[in-house]
Amino acid sequence: MHEINEKEIILVEKFKKLLQEAPGMLECQKDLDKFAEEVSKTLYNLLIEILVYSIEKLDDKIKESEEVKENWRNIKRDYRTILMPHAVVVYKRRYYQHKQTGEYSYLVDKFLGIDSYQRLSQHYEEKIRSLFKVHKSFAGVLKELARASNPLK
């Protein structure tokens, strides 16, 4: 059975706190739309924390795998920033060197299909490409992205 760690406890507590405070928030707001917007923002921030936590846990799992222990040398840990719709996700991951070939790699990025210099999530990249088919100008695409990045307004 999985033992819950400190970070998981914090995430669960944040969700429980939202559930406990939600009725009072609604009563104070007296406006269902504003209440929904406030709850959505809180949940989205929690989602980002869960994404970062999950990526970093996967990085830990990769580090502990026998294949990695035998064939790769852990060099350092670096931050990575990925832009996603409505969010910027910043996480830490390990940089490795292959013991035989000398190849360098961020194995968690490789596992997730994130290219070396990729700064946009695959979904966000596809969304931007599709917007260029609709809007013929860069300004039109930026305007649409700005509108889409704040869906609650």
| 148: in domain | no
Tokens standing for residue 74: 């852990």
Check whether 148 has a pLDDT greater than 70: no
Within a domain: residue 140? no
Q: How far apart are CA 131 and CA 110, in angstroms?
A: 27
Identify the domain containing residue 68 by its residue range. Answer: 6-119
Which DSSP letter does residue 106 get? -
> 11-15, 67-71, 111-115, 122-126: lowest mean pLDDT where?
122-126
Between the alpha carbon of residue 45 and those of residues 17, 31, 62, 132, 150, the distances in Å are: 14, 22, 26, 29, 14
For the chain, the domain total comes to: 1
Interacting residues of 110 by C-beta distance below 8 A, sequence separation 6+: none
The per-residue pLDDT for range 31-83, each reduced to its tens digit, is 888 889 889 888 988 999 999 999 999 999 999 999 999 999 999 999 999 88
pLDDT band at residue 91 using 50, 70 and 90 as cut-offs: very high
